[in-house]
Amino acid sequence: MEEYDEKDLRDCKELIEPYIHYTPVLSSRLINEIIGAKVYFKCENFQRSGAYKMRGATHAILKLSPDQRAKGVVTHSSGNFAQALALAAQSLGVTAYIAMPSDAPVVKKSAVINYGGKIVECEPNLDARKATAAKVASETGASFLHPSNDRDVILGQGTACMEFLEDYPELDFIFVPVGGGGLIAGTALASHFFSKGAKVIGTEPYEVDDAYRSFHSGRIETNLTTNTIADGLKTVLGDRTLPIILRLVDRIIRVEEEEIVSAMRLIWERMKIVVEPSSAVALAGLIRTTEDYKNSTIGVILSGGNVDLSKLPF
Amino acid sequence: MEEYDEKDLRDCKELIEPYIHYTPVLSSRLINEIIGAKVYFKCENFQRSGAYKMRGATHAILKLSPDQRAKGVVTHSSGNFAQALALAAQSLGVTAYIAMPSDAPVVKKSAVINYGGKIVECEPNLDARKATAAKVASETGASFLHPSNDRDVILGQGTACMEFLEDYPELDFIFVPVGGGGLIAGTALASHFFSKGAKVIGTEPYEVDDAYRSFHSGRIETNLTTNTIADGLKTVLGDRTLPIILRLVDRIIRVEEEEIVSAMRLIWERMKIVVEPSSAVALAGLIRTTEDYKNSTIGVILSGGNVDLSKLPF
C-alpha cells in the first residue's frame, strides 16, 4: 500500500474543517440491549450533502492548485459522491461536472442541480460514464476525481473516524459499510493511527460481496449482478483502497437484504433518524454477528441519509 | 387561570431531570433560506418514549404520594401519552393502566405493552374510554392522570421550552402544535417566565381547528370530525389548558393536510430525522405565514417521532 502517516490525516482534517459538519454521535438503550454491548452511532447522515462523501470531495478539491480549481472538477457517479462533489465545489467556487446515466432517477439529478453541479448525460453503463468523464476532462481541463479510489478522497473519509475517536477514544470495534472502499480505507487508516487498537470491520450485502471476496483472494473481484437495496455499495474496490483494506481491516461480514431492511427499520423507529440502506448494512452486520462482540464498545458509522421517500422498503 | 409561578416550573424541571433526556436542537440551512429567518428545532422526537409527553407523565407520577404511587396510575389514550405514562411508570416502579379502544392499532398496543403498561380494552369511543378509566380507578385505587388537562402535566410539558430557552435565549417566536393544549400551555408559561418576550404561536390542522375557534370564542369548542393525518392533535382543550392559552398565547394558525405532509417531507429529507405528522404541523404553520416572521429568530418544537412506517403519506 501507499505510504500514509498521522500528519496526512491531521492536515486533511484541519483543511476541510471549515467546510464540513462535525457530526453528532447517538446511541439507543434498546439497541444496546439487543446487541449486548455499548453501541455508538456516528451520524454522517447529518453531514452536509447528507453523507460522509462531503469530506473526501472537499479534501480532493482543496488539494488542487488554483489553476486546476479554475478549470473545474469532474466525476462519474449517480449517488452521494455526485451530490457531495457538486456541493463541495459550490462552496469553494469551483465548477463541478457530473457524468450521470440518462436513466438516473430525477431525484438524484435534481439534487446535483440544486447544488450547482453541471450534469453531462451519458449511456447507462459504467464504460460510457468513464468515457464521458474522460471526454469532459480533456475538453475542459477539469480534474477527474474518483469517488473512492483516490488518495485525497480516502484521507477525507478518514476524518469521520478521527472525530468519532475524539468523542469516544475507547472504541474496541468500528463497523462501516463497504462499497468502493473509500470510507473503510480512510476509517482503517484513522483507527490505525489514532485509536487504542480498535478493529475495523466492513459490512456488505451478499448481493454485491466483491469486497468480501477481494479481502480473501487479495485481488479486485467484481459483481456479476447488483440486486441490492443498498445502492451506495454496488461499486467495487480499487487499487488504492484494496491494499489498505488487506493490511488494516479485521473482517468483512456479509448480510442478506431482509437484514438490511430490518436494521434500517430499527434505526428509523428507535433512533428517529433517517438513514439510507447502505448505512443500515453496518448495523445489520453487527446484529448478525452479535455473539462475537458482547460487552464491548462498538462504533458504527452511519454513512448517509439520502433516500427517496417515495420508494421506501417498509 | 390557575396561579403558576417561576418556582413551579423550576421545581418541576429539577424533579424530572433524572428521568428524561435533555433533547438536542437542530437547524437546517435550507429551511432557514425558505423561511427567511433563523429557525431552531427542539427535537422532542428524541425524547424517551419518542415524544415530549414523557415530561408531563413523569412529573405527574412524581407528584403523587408514596401511597398513591403504590396503587398505580390510569389514563385513557391510544397515543403518545399512553406510551409515555407506561414508560414513566415503569421507570418509577409504578403500575400504569391504560384504557385503550379495542380497535387501536396493534403497533400502539405493542408499544404500551413493551413499556410494561397494562391495557384495559374498551369500546372505541371517548365516553367508553373515560368510563373504563374511571372504573379502573375506583377498582384499583389508581390515580387518574389526564393526558393534557392536568396542572402537573402542563408544568412537565413546559420544561421542553425551558431547555430550549437555556440553549437559545434569544428566540422571538416559539411555534408548537396544539391538541389537548398541554404542550402549548406549558410552553406559554415557560416563555412567560423565562424568555425575553418570545411570543408563543399554536398551529393546528383545519380539520380539527377547535383550538383556533376556542381561542377566538373564549370557550371550549369541539370538532365534529377529525379527518387529519396529525393523529396527536384530535383532542380538544380543557378547563385548565384553555385559560392559559387565552392569556399567554399570541396566535393560532391553521394548516391544510397537504401542507402537513409537505412540511413532514421537508423535515425528513433535509434534516434526516423522523418526526410524526403532529410535529410537522408546527413547521407547516410557519411556512404558511412566513411573511410575518422574516429575519426573526424562531423556535419550533418537534413534538414527537412515533410513526407507523408501514403507513407513511409519501
Residue B104 confidence (pLDDT): 85
The nearest alpha carbon in chain A to B305 belongs to: A272
Query: Which of A271, A73, A43 shows the shortest CA–CA distance to A160?
Result: A43
Across B86-97, average pLDDT: 98
The nearest alpha carbon in chain A to B302 belongs to: A272
Amino acid letter at A65? Answer: S
pLDDT one-digit tens code per residue, A250-298 = 999 999 999 999 999 999 999 999 999 999 999 999 999 999 999 999 9
Does B281 lie in the same domain as B229?
A: yes
Residue A284 confidence (pLDDT): 98
A209 compared with B127, residue with greater pLDDT: A209
The CATH number of the domain holding residue A192 is 3.40.50.1100
Structural domains counted in chain B: 2
User: Which domain covers residue B92, as residue numbers?
Assistant: 54-144
Q: Do A312 and B310 touch (CB under 8 A)?
A: no
Q: Do A275 and B273 touch (CB under 8 A)?
A: no
Q: Do B46 and A272 touch (CB under 8 A)?
A: yes
- Residues contacting A246, CB < 8 A, separation 6+: A1, A215, A218
Residue A207 counted as domain residue = yes
Does A201 lie in the same domain as A266?
A: yes
Distance of residue A216 Cα from the nearest chain B Cα, in angstroms: 36
Residue B150 counted as domain residue = no
Residue B134 confidence (pLDDT): 96
Does A111 lie in the same domain as A257?
A: no
Cβ neighbours of A272 in B, within 8 Å: 45-46, 50, 273-275, 305
pLDDT one-digit tens code per residue, B196-252 = 999 999 999 999 999 999 999 999 999 999 999 999 999 999 999 999 999 999 999
Does B109 lie in the same domain as B77?
A: yes
Does A89 lie in the same domain as A185?
A: no
Does A129 lie in the same domain as A94?
A: yes
Residue A105 confidence (pLDDT): 84
Distance of residue A90 Cα from the nearest chain B Cα, in angstroms: 15
Residue A36 confidence (pLDDT): 98
Considering CB atoms only, which of A50, A305, A310 is closest to B314?
A: A310
- pTM of this structure: 0.96
Does B233 lie in the same domain as B115?
A: no
Residue A62 confidence (pLDDT): 98
Q: Do A268 and B24 touch (CB under 8 A)?
A: no
For the record, the C-alpha cell of A238 comes out as: 480499487
Mean confidence (pLDDT) of chain A: 96
Considering CB atoms only, which of B272, B275, B305 is closest to A45?
A: B272
HSE-CB at A264 with a 13 A cutoff on CA atoms is 27
pLDDT one-digit tens code per residue, B127-156 = 999 999 999 999 999 999 999 999 999 999
Angstrom distance (rounded) from CA A262 to CA A131: 38
Q: Do A309 and B272 touch (CB under 8 A)?
A: no
Residue A1 counted as domain residue = no
- Which of A113, A144, A175 is where one domain is finished? A144
Does A172 lie in the same domain as A259?
A: yes
Across A104-111, average pLDDT: 88
pLDDT one-digit tens code per residue, B23-72 = 999 999 999 999 999 999 999 999 999 999 999 999 999 999 999 999 99
Angstrom distance (rounded) from CA A100 to CA A102: 6
pLDDT one-digit tens code per residue, B263-312 = 999 999 999 999 999 999 999 999 999 999 999 999 999 999 999 999 99
Contact yes or no for A53/A84 (Cβ under 8 A): yes
Q: How many CB pairs under 8 A join A and B?
A: 39
Does A304 lie in the same domain as A235?
A: yes
Residues of B near A (Cβ–Cβ under 8 Å) read 24, 26, 45-46, 50, 265, 268-269, 272-275, 305, 309-310, 312, 314
Band (pLDDT 50/70/90 cuts) for residue A112 is: very high
Q: Do A272 and B24 touch (CB under 8 A)?
A: no
Does B207 lie in the same domain as B62?
A: no
Angstrom distance (rounded) from CA B85 to CA A220: 55
